[in-house]
Structure 1
Amino acid sequence: MKTSVAMCTYNGEKYIKAQLESILNQTINIDEIIICDDGSNDNTIELISKFQAENPNKISLYSNPINLGSNKNFEKAISICSGDYIFLSDQDDIWKENKVEKIIEYFLANPSTEAVFTNGDLINDKNEKISTHTLWDSVFFIENKLERPINLFKLMSSKRNMVTGATLCIKKETKDFIFPFPDFKKYYHDEWIAIIIASRKKLDYVTDELISYRIHSDQQIGGKNNIQKSTSQKHLKLSNYILGNATPKSYQDFNQLSKTYYRNYLKFKNVSENTGGNNPVNFKEIAETNLELFKKCDDSLKKTSPIFYFFRSLTDKIRGKRQLN
């Protein structure tokens, strides 16, 4: 069994040292670390080179001649990895020392699983824990309050992505069907990988907080550390409605659910149009399913609260929102 890390870097001098140290100090040794740098102009390369000199048989550094962007850079890093298990890594987090051990144990106990993601805690730029909320709280994956088993594909296709790439580990055979990654704005490699594997019913998770996920002003994307209780409750209700565990009754519930379905209709319509028809997942079908769910929810909204529905429809028309041709 061989383990790999696919890490992408770009101007990561502030945090790369702590991240690499945490990867190198695992209870189960990583066999190779593949780092693809996307044109850093700070001291990132110099810092990595020092680690590379101390670990010449473990760390490989590739400097891109042109900036690829995060999606294509991760595609490159993963493609180079030769391990049976490939851990994705950002440049600015810190791994718990038993992360690799816990995830490998899960894979060995569940051999049909193709990818595993985990929870994490949240830290600031001083490595201090900054919230009682977890990484899953920040992406509104309220796993401990949902009925099991959780249909991850349904949640991802009709609510939102809950898989953070920095926690993700994939088996090498997934490389046969996850490439190429999309290359357009606001659709990222972690959601792409996760929804494809979830559609195969081979995505799973470990509830342990196995990374410290850093929240800072320089990150490209990331979670939230200020989460209102009312917001979490709203997302829990949405998840239960989408999963069929509960039925909306109020105007507010139908309104929020219809907006969620419509947003996902637009998102996956965009994914379908930007990736073409030759994908492991039928994104056009996902878009159309969300559109049908939006229409049904909108009809229920109209019956439940006709007056509110009239004014919402009028406001949407004026603003050009949710207008179907």
Structure 2
Amino acid sequence: MKEEKIDILLACYNGENYIRNQILSLQQQTHTNWHLYIRDDGSTDHTLEIVRAFIEKDSRITLIKDHKKNLGPALNFKELFEYSTANYAICCDQDDIWFEKKLALLLKVAKDKFSDEYPCMVYSDGYGYDSEEGIISHQNISNLDARSLEQFMFFNGGYQGCSVLFNKSLTKMFQQYTPPFYMHDDIISLLAFTFGKVYRLPKKLMLYRQHDNNVTGNMTRDSLIKRAFTSKNSVISIKHLKEKMAFFSHYKEYMSEKHKILFKSYFQITSTKSYWKKANIVRQHNFSLGQYKLRLYIKLLLQPTVK
């Protein structure tokens, strides 16, 4: 039986120090029926030379040539989605290293659980990798496990695209998405939680490289704790609030009544000054921060709601 094809969408920019090892890790996947689409956002280093050298030897790799430059990571990935036709797809950062069974294990969950009728995704975890020291710096890249929209709404961002395998239904919805957005993986996660199903594979399937130039930033234990509770940060970032408002405006006519109420209640919290009123909304609608309800109450107490 022929293996199911997976499209891998790799957005790159000035990644000469990392992209070779990332592509090599893709070529070592035990699941071999994949096609890698690469879009460069105007690199000024040797990234394209490295990519072209791989293309000469591997017909599964395509470089997108559209003459658009400096779109930024979100729109760089959005452009890549236009080329995906496979039943399953996954985003790929230029600077990570995937373990050899990553695609095979994610695909097994997808084939067992997904439906073709609505957007589905499965997410996994990974190890934080210190690029300077050459060691594993963090035992996971996400400690939040959301199983529903109620548990996901207070994320400032989605599950990282490089950790998520999704189906063609979700690909098509994102291809057609026109409102402004901050990051592609935010919308991918929102689409699945709002209109489809989300599954978790509790395995660590990659090294997520930490260095000064990557998008997500520092992931050390101390930095995560500080970001979680310091008053210098907020419960909801303004850019993610605007993103969710645009998402709701675009899709509200197609949402279930339950999900409409959840979005409206989330927005109500952002405009409410009283902690007790905010806490009551959280209780009434069963909001939490992933699996942590108490953490959300504490953040609402200690931090500005929006900043």
Q: Distance in 1 between matches of 2:169 and 2:14?
A: 31
The answer to whether residue 67 in structure 2 is matched with residue 65 in structure 1 is yes
* 1:135 CA displacement: 0.6
Report the CA distance shift for 1:122/1:276 in structure 2 as closer, same or farther (over 3 A). Answer: closer
Q: What are the superposed Cα offsets for residues 151-188 of structure 1, whole Å, 9 maximum, x if unpaired? A: 33222213433511111111122222223456757x21
1:182 touches 1:189 (CA, 8 Å); kept in 2?
no
1:39 touches 1:63 (CA, 8 Å); kept in 2?
no
Report the CA distance shift for 1:16/1:292 in structure 2 as closer, same or farther (over 3 A). Answer: same
What is the number of residues matched between the two proteins? 271
Q: Distance in 2 between matches of 1:134 and 1:49?
A: 33
* 1:132 CA displacement: 4.2
Equivalent position to 1:94, from 93, 97, 100: 97
Q: Which amino acid aligns with 1:213?
A: Y
* 1:22 CA displacement: 0.3
Report the CA distance shift for 1:201/1:272 in structure 2 as closer, same or farther (over 3 A). Answer: closer
Report the CA distance shift for 1:35/1:132 in structure 2 as closer, same or farther (over 3 A). Answer: closer
2:300 aligned residue: none
Q: What are the superposed Cα offsets for residues 8-64 of structure 1, whole Å, 9 maximum, x if unpaired? A: 010110000000000011011043110011111100000000100001x21100144
Report the CA distance shift for 1:47/1:231 in structure 2 as closer, same or farther (over 3 A). Answer: same
Q: Distance in 2 between matches of 1:167 and 1:272?
A: 21
The answer to whether residue 188 in structure 2 is matched with residue 193 in structure 1 is yes
Please report the TM-score for the alignment, with normalisation by the length of structure 2: 0.75
Equivalent position to 1:3, from 6, 25, 42: 6
Report the CA distance shift for 1:77/1:228 in structure 2 as closer, same or farther (over 3 A). Answer: closer
Q: Distance in 1 between matches of 2:34 and 2:278?
A: 55
Runs of at least 4 residues off by over 6 Å: 280-285
Q: Distance in 2 between matches of 1:3 and 1:205?
A: 19
The answer to whether residue 292 in structure 2 is matched with residue 289 in structure 1 is no
The answer to whether residue 28 in structure 2 is matched with residue 25 in structure 1 is yes
Which is richer in helix? 1
Q: Distance in 1 between matches of 2:178 and 2:205?
A: 28
* 1:228 CA displacement: 6.8
Q: What are the superposed Cα offsets for residues 249-274 of structure 1, whole Å, 9 maximum, x if unpaired? A: xxx9xx99xx63xx36x556522565
Q: Which amino acid aligns with 1:206?
A: L
Alignment of 1:35-74 (within 5 A): 35-55=38-58, 57-67=59-69, 68-74=71-77
Q: Which amino acid aligns with 2:251?
A: N
Alignment of 1:73-84 (within 5 A): 73-84=76-87
Q: Distance in 2 between matches of 1:81 and 1:75?
A: 11
Q: Where in structure 1 are there 5+ consecutive unaligned residues?
A: 144-149, 236-251, 304-315
SS at match of 1:83: coil
Report the CA distance shift for 1:293/1:226 in structure 2 as closer, same or farther (over 3 A). Answer: same
Alignment of 1:97-246 (within 5 A): 97-112=100-115, 114-125=120-131, 128-137=134-143, 141=144, 143=145, 150-161=146-157, 163-181=159-177, 187-222=182-217, 224-227=219-222
Q: What are the superposed Cα offsets for residues 76-129 of structure 1, whole Å, 9 maximum, x if unpaired? A: 212202221112100000000000110111112213371111100011225833
Please report the TM-score for the alignment, with normalisation by the length of structure 1: 0.71
Report the CA distance shift for 1:225/1:183 in structure 2 as closer, same or farther (over 3 A). Answer: farther
1:75 touches 1:181 (CA, 8 Å); kept in 2?
no
